[in-house]
A and B are shown apart, each in its own frame.
Chain A
């Protein structure tokens, strides 16, 4: 819906300014029309469906908040909270483990190591979905190589659980953190450290009072990005745990595949809207943070 509005607002202004030369907005127009159709229509459908209920007997539709209310109760609420909890924990751990790894790379003088780790991070951050789930099932699943050789089963290990999912998610979240935070670490100038040390600060004090405050926006931005990434993930969880762990993405997929009561399709749309709201919140936090950290890095 928002995609369609700017086109009508801005186009006349631009055309008035650029009447004589090849009008620039003409080149942008196909993109705007395309997104208005391919993105705008589904977005409208979510919004419309989330607030529509169909009367089972008469078939008449009406606008209500019933779906949204339903999506925030019972099993749906459990799934939503489960997703938030899983994403938050994985994102915190991903940020905590990603930072030292990125620092080890950024402070290294070896160009080869740096290139290797960054390239590997690029690949692994993309290595999500079904293949990742299967790789972990082969490693730590019930018949996994490590499970059998180390006898993990007797010690109560279960990959198809909440913490199993966290372990798997970290496999693409840590590389994502490394990619996000390395430019910020590169922006920490040696002079700042030298200045701090010359003034009598210890290494810890330097990190506490100089480096971390400068890094804070990037760190928080990285955390938020990781959260959004984990929150939206569906394929890994679907291939690994089925529905053993309640997650909002799995609930939506269930409802869409007709695995639940008839008439619940619109609850799936309401859940989708919940997800969009959370993801929107994530972006609203992330973008200003990114701009803030860019100020330090470009200076």
Chain B
């Protein structure tokens, strides 16, 4: 049966390859195209362009902070769902699906409104200092808060799939009867078995934060994606060059992940 379908399959794959590769190839041509021939200026100038290093660093810092916070919140919760509180599963499932119902642009509209409460209503209370602190332009904590919320659905799905593959209860009971304390049982028996799922969740979060544009732009910060956007207005070649590079980096990360963790959950975070 499969044999008879072969020409049809090659046609489909060929068309798909054409559609997906042409823009990439054209982008590369666009970046090296120069009136005098071929020039790699667009790539060599990236590093020296103002804002590149600082915006990339900001994005990476935000990504690390988001990954740490979301894992600290989610790992104990999903492990507890397996061990002690199965009745809470629907609650956690609903909580982790809610961000899917609020598109990033609507979410940021809500955040902007909440942040306005600070100067409007709370300027005489100690809470006002908190509002100022989370909007520190050097490290906007408010972005971490938003990204953690936006990452919840993907992290939950990745961790839940990982936990489904192992028998948490038996692992913990075995560790406990060998004399391990509760924290030790979790750290030394459960977490190592979750390595693939943790990597998966971290990668999805990393991809989400590095590519996130909506929330950061409307709150007035300049992480990587916003920087590409701003550069694009006067240096078209370079912004395309950075776009191509960012795709290659994402590809490399995903391939690395597929190699390490089996890469099971590939569903995309929303791209805002």
A interface with B by C-beta (< 8 Å): 2-3, 6-7, 10, 13-14, 17-18, 21-28, 30-32, 34-35, 37-39, 41-46, 48-49, 97, 100-101, 103-104, 107-109, 113, 115, 117-132, 134-140, 143-146, 170-172, 174-176, 179-180, 193, 228-229, 231-236, 238-239, 249, 252-253, 256-257, 265, 268-269, 272-273, 275-276, 279-280, 283, 287
Contacts and interface: CB of A to CB of B under 8 A. Distances in A.
A3 B91 CA distance: 9
Nearest to B268: A125
B34 to A, nearest CB: 13
B232 A127 contact: no
Contacts of A6: 91, 94-95
A265 B115 CA distance: 14
Contacts, number: 300
Interface stretch (B52-60, B96-104, B187-195): B96-104
Contacts of A37: 145
Contact of B92 (A31, A43, A109): A31
A3 B110 contact: no
A107 B263 CA distance: 21
B76 A30 contact: yes
Mostly, the A contact residues are helix
Contacts of A139: 22-23, 26-27, 30
A120 B272 contact: no
Given A135-B23, A144-B26, A283 B214 contact: no
Interface in B81-101: 81, 83-85, 87-88, 91-92, 94-95, 97-101
Given A31-B74, A235-B272, A283-B97, A272 B106 contact: yes
B108 interface: yes
B146 A128 contact: no
Given A121-B266, A233-B272, A252-B105, A3 B85 contact: no
Contacts of A104: 8-9, 12-13
A41 B117 CA distance: 11
Interface in B31-47: 31, 33
A171 B236 CA distance: 21
B2 A109 contact: yes
21 contacts: A27-B77, A27-B85, A28-B85, A30-B77, A32-B91, A41-B110, A42-B107, A42-B110, A107-B5, A119-B258, A129-B225, A130-B229, A135-B247, A139-B22, A140-B26, A179-B266, A229-B271, A239-B213, A276-B101, A279-B101, A283-B100
A138 B251 CA distance: 20
